[in-house]
Structure 1
């Protein structure tokens, strides 16, 4: 992974309860659209160096490590979506942004959507990348687990090794992340880059936020809120993601200003396997493409 730590301006953002969050900015500065990236997990850290490099001539790109994760201050939580939405708003305020575009990946897509629902007046556009929609977790998690074991089981020795390692072990993470790529020949290489540098998984954060999603996602109020969301949203999928892509259909149907871009030969991290198409999708969203192409799905 390209190390942009020295190229980006790193800062400390203070949340409203005093917890210190790591953040960095790069790109076009004040003249460009502000694009804030929300990493996946929960409990992981910003792995968007390559994404920032891919997009930094399009926007002022802001990255951050979520509470208790990565380079941010270790703390006791709280591990709730409401708290993380407030932290994202602290990042916005720190950089003096009245409005911003949001790009969230995986769990970060859920966080970015939650922020847009809470503060639509502060969001110019939302890029919802590799999320799992707004239906109950039970609607997709079973097939996901089956797909996970089948994909990792393509190399039985890797599956056996993954099972014997503790949850927080870097080697286990690399094995687990290797199933996220359609290019099987380079899957371990790509996964290894995700783990370098290694900041440690916040397992408590992961468990708590996943439990919250399991309890709350799929509520009728969520569908109603998404149906009323007056923000242009671009849903970005890798068709070979092992999370059933049908899970995202629920969100696509609900959005009044939605567009979907699907990469047939990409997995969970489409910018790795389809960088040119991914950049074009983001550029279009920043240009307002999610508005003009409402209800349009594209296969790139």
Structure 2
């Protein structure tokens, strides 16, 4: 996908737009990842929708060096205005799910629908639970290596690769999936700063009245670190217009493991098909 740079709040933000129809803006995870995570898996949607992918502040091909939830809400609103979009559907993955809900709480009138995958929750509690379960899955030996590689990666490129090799299997249902994973360079500063911001400030409970009526679909991997049962108990009771679909044979990276399921879910949900079709998914 060919993209262009748009100046938003003094930053050069890299944005890709393809197709025509209902606009869907994709919010990548990380924090510190890039839009390339969605490619080429989500590109077929351009046949029926306008898909918009972008790199968040300081990530991928975008500029900027201030990292926070507020900064990313502002950037996303800048993209919406720049592209002259009245209402958008947001697709948020992992940290992108936090951004999608945070943006919606600020600008509910700009939202058509929201789709979340690898969802984290409505407050810093979900983020803390995610980190806790993730470290439990690693076990003591890998946890020790994680600390070593994290420190080494500041100085050595090969340590970053070893770090990925160590933690990536925890994100997938089948390690064979990792063969098709793109090597994406992460912005470690964005990861640390936004991670800290989530821990200290992320809490949507005071804003629930602004988002609880929005149509929300949560597509959670059957073997995600926060599984569908967690979302059912800790998220669904607070969002009266949200529905949960389990993405079978998938971990945290649903787009990588089950792109076909995700594409079908997006088309069904935005196309306005009935709950029964989603239930039978």
Q: Give the structure-1-normalised TM-score.
A: 0.81
Tell me which residue corresponds to 1:177.
168
Q: Within 5 A, what are the aligned runs for 1:77-96?
A: 77=66, 79-96=67-84
Please state if 1:134 is matched with 2:119: no
The 2-side partners of 1:33 and 1:108 are apart by: 20
Please state if 1:119 is matched with 2:76: no
Q: Within 5 A, what are the aligned runs for 1:196-275?
A: 198=184, 200-217=185-202, 219=203, 222-229=204-211, 230-249=213-232, 250-275=234-259
- More helix, by proportion: 2
Deviation (angstroms), 1:224: 4.1
For residues 51 and 90 of structure 1, do their structure 2 counterparts lie closer, same or farther at Cα, with a shift above 3 Å needed?
A: farther
The 2-side partners of 1:161 and 1:299 are apart by: 42
The 2-side partners of 1:285 and 1:89 are apart by: 23
Deviation (angstroms), 1:96: 1.7
The 2-side partners of 1:172 and 1:33 are apart by: 39
The count of aligned residue pairs is: 269
The 1-side partners of 2:242 and 2:81 are apart by: 27
Please state if 1:15 is matched with 2:8: yes
Match of 1:58 among 33, 36, 48: 48
Kindly provide the CA deviation profile for residues 37-59 of structure 1, in whole angstroms up to 9, marking residues without a partner as x.
Answer: 00001112111112332322231
Tell me which residue corresponds to 1:188.
178
Deviation (angstroms), 1:142: 1.9
Of 99-108 and 201-210, more deviation after overlay is shown by: 201-210
Deviation (angstroms), 1:253: 1.3
Of 174-183 and 275-284, more deviation after overlay is shown by: 174-183
CA contact (8 A) 1:99 1:124 kept: yes
Q: Give the structure-2-normalised TM-score.
A: 0.86
For residues 187 and 175 of structure 1, do their structure 2 counterparts lie closer, same or farther at Cα, with a shift above 3 Å needed?
A: farther
CA contact (8 A) 1:261 1:299 kept: no
For residues 251 and 179 of structure 1, do their structure 2 counterparts lie closer, same or farther at Cα, with a shift above 3 Å needed?
A: same
Deviation (angstroms), 1:179: 2.4
The 1-side partners of 2:255 and 2:207 are apart by: 29
The 2-side partners of 1:235 and 1:299 are apart by: 15
Query: Unpaired runs of 5+ in structure 1?
Result: 1-7
Tell me which residue corresponds to 2:157.
none
The 2-side partners of 1:224 and 1:93 are apart by: 26
Of 163-172 and 54-63, more deviation after overlay is shown by: 163-172
The 2-side partners of 1:54 and 1:269 are apart by: 18
Deviation (angstroms), 1:82: 1.1
Please state if 1:109 is matched with 2:93: no
CA contact (8 A) 1:263 1:299 kept: no
CA contact (8 A) 1:143 1:244 kept: no
Structure 1 vs Structure 2 CA RMSD: 2.5
Query: Unpaired runs of 5+ in structure 2?
Result: 155-159
The 2-side partners of 1:103 and 1:26 are apart by: 15
Q: Tell me, what secondary structure is at the counterpart of 2:42?
A: helix
